[in-house]
Chains A and B, each alone.
Chain A
Amino acid sequence: MIILGIESSCDETSIALLNNNKVIKNIVASQIMHEEYGGVVPEFASREHMKNIQKIVDRTFEGIDIKLQDIDGIAVTYGPGLMGALLVGLSYAKGLAYTLNKPLIGVNHIEGHIMANFLDHENLTFPFICLLVSGGHTQIVYVKDFGKYEILGRSIDDAAGEAFDKAARIINLGYPGGPLIDKMARNGNVKFHSFPRAKIKNRPDDFSFSGLKTSILYLSKQKGNNWIQENLKDVCASYQEAIIDVLQKRVFTIAKRRGVKKIVLAGGVAANSRLRYVFTEISKKNNSDIFFPSLEYCTDNAAMIARTGLELLKRNKISSLNISAVPNLRLIN
């Protein structure tokens, strides 16, 4: 089956073509203009999607034998995300599905991140425990089967990605914070400063990252910007370590308790090199299998949306043409 994937939920416009498990094309246009605003400006994001979507669709069909009429379904992100941004991809998908008379498949973006793992790992099987970490989400999910999810732990405030972005703003590193801190931290000392590892009373499986952000703010006020800049590598490394430390402790504690030996990482923060390293090392030690997507499929992309759409189409879970965008869509409703 051939699936066209469309993703426009935040600041990436992406179109992909998938032939069963094989990615034929995955084109991602990242919007760089948000950098100078220190975060995604929703109206700009929507305008960029509108400007780019047809160009990227055209590029998708360039130089390949697959024709528009060969598509078996159109998979599109309908949430969560920015309303105006989602609507560009969704409206386009509806128009296309209507004229081609092909099924429209609304895809949950979060589920897409989990399913991204199947693009790289054909040997991956259910069930597994998934750490879903991105700019908007931090959840530990027990994935029993496709579409069967149980949330075992979650952030009660900031997502891990937000903790990176906000810290990068505080120490004047730039935006987006995750990749910048990751890069800066590579030669830094993870034990340089002891950032807090927050525990929540009576909720041992959940996370809190808002205190972490406050602590780096205090540190920067107390020691001054010059001190931060002089020790930037070490500040980044020890801050990053605090986030990863909390994530790995929760995940492996839960996995042990549930007797699950298969751990999967998903979402934009799963691109973090230290996170991948730490999870790989711990998995080796306790004989767990660890999976994470290639970098290309960690960040927002349409291939993962198409991959999820494929599973939905196989189960005949198609959407009607009056489907709405749902900005606050959850993994489990």
Chain B
Amino acid sequence: MDKKIILGIDTSTDNCSVGLVKNDILLAEKSEVAKTIHSEKLILFIDDILKEAKLKFDQIDAIAVNIGPGSYTGLRIGLSTAKGLAFSGNLPILPIPSLTVLSRSLDENSQEPKLLFINSHSNKVFYTYQKFDEKVDINCDIQFEDIEIIASKYPEISTFYGNYNFNLEKVNVKELMPFGKNVALIAYENYNDLINNFNEYLEPNYLTNFKAKKWDRSGK
């Protein structure tokens, strides 16, 4: 494969994070954890890392984006920005699942089974469970559940890893954030698969169906 320069974007959580890789080498990255800064800072962060890597935008071969599940608004900021960036150069946008990205933030040598989650709202999380010797790949199974119920379902797991510090009775929770650099690295590793499935009209993976109350026409 030719050398590929990939921009990775992750706005699926409070971590507004971008990274630039050339094949499997990290060129530059920038992140900031805060609420509601993503829309303001994302483009500036991308500009910063391009300058740091001394690259022009048109040298980028693909944009990889955390496709979710995660913060609905966050995912849309990332993907809308990616679409705007991709349009003039007709760049492919490569979608990477949030929990695959999150798994890369784990210590590689961990010999435990993994339960990774991204908080949705209140106690609800998007999660994936992998045995200790399994890698969380881009086809990983992601479920939506209440964190307390997950804890009772997997009594053998002592530690959950995710983006919110839940206070659980029998389980430790360690805070873990997804990063844009890992979005780009995973995209590089799966480049051929992803490029074959490239879709210009990509949408976020919200996972859950949003429900709203329908209008009761009986006149109430």
Instruction: Check B39 against A90 for contact (C-beta < 8 Å).
Output: yes
Chain B interfacial residues counted at CB < 8 A: 38
Residues of A within 8 A of B210 (CB): 43-44, 47
Complex Cα–Cα for A323 and B213 (A): 34
CB-based contact B73/A46 at 8 Å: yes
Residue of A51, A58, A99, A100 with highest tally of chain B CB at under 10 A: A99
Residues of A within 8 A of B57 (CB): 98-99
B85 near A172 (CB under 8 angstroms)?
no
How many chain-A residues does the 8 Å CB contact rule pick out?
A: 44
Which of these, A41, A57, A91, contacts B212 with CB under 8 Å?
Answer: A41
Residue contact B40 to A96, C-beta cutoff 8 Å: no
Residue in contact with A99 in the complex, picked from B39, B79, B88, CB distance below 8 Å: B88
Whether a CB of chain B sits under 8 angstroms from the CB of A87 is yes
Please pick, from A54, A93, A97, A322, the residue contacting B200 in the complex, using a CB distance under 8 A. A54
Residue pair A88, B80 in contact (C-beta under 8 Å)? yes
Interfacial chain A residues near B85, Cβ < 8 Å: 95-96, 98-99
CB within 8 Å for A95 and B80 given contacts A50-B203, A100-B88, A322-B43: yes
> Which of A51, A54, A91 is in CB contact (< 8 Å) with B87?
A54
- List the B side residues contacting A69 at CB < 8 Å: 88
Q: Is B155 an interface residue when CB atoms closer than 8 A count as contact?
A: no
In the assembled complex, 28 residue pairs joining A and B whose CB atoms fall closer than 8 Å, in A order, are A36-B214, A37-B212, A37-B215, A38-B215, A47-B203, A47-B206, A50-B203, A51-B201, A53-B83, A54-B83, A57-B87, A87-B39, A87-B76, A91-B81, A92-B80, A94-B81, A95-B83, A98-B57, A99-B57, A99-B58, A100-B88, A172-B217, A225-B219, A321-B47, A323-B40, A324-B39, A324-B40, A325-B39
Listed in ascending order, the chain B residues whose CB lies under 8 Å from chain A are 39-44, 46-47, 57-58, 72-73, 76-89, 200-201, 203-204, 206, 210, 212-215, 217, 219
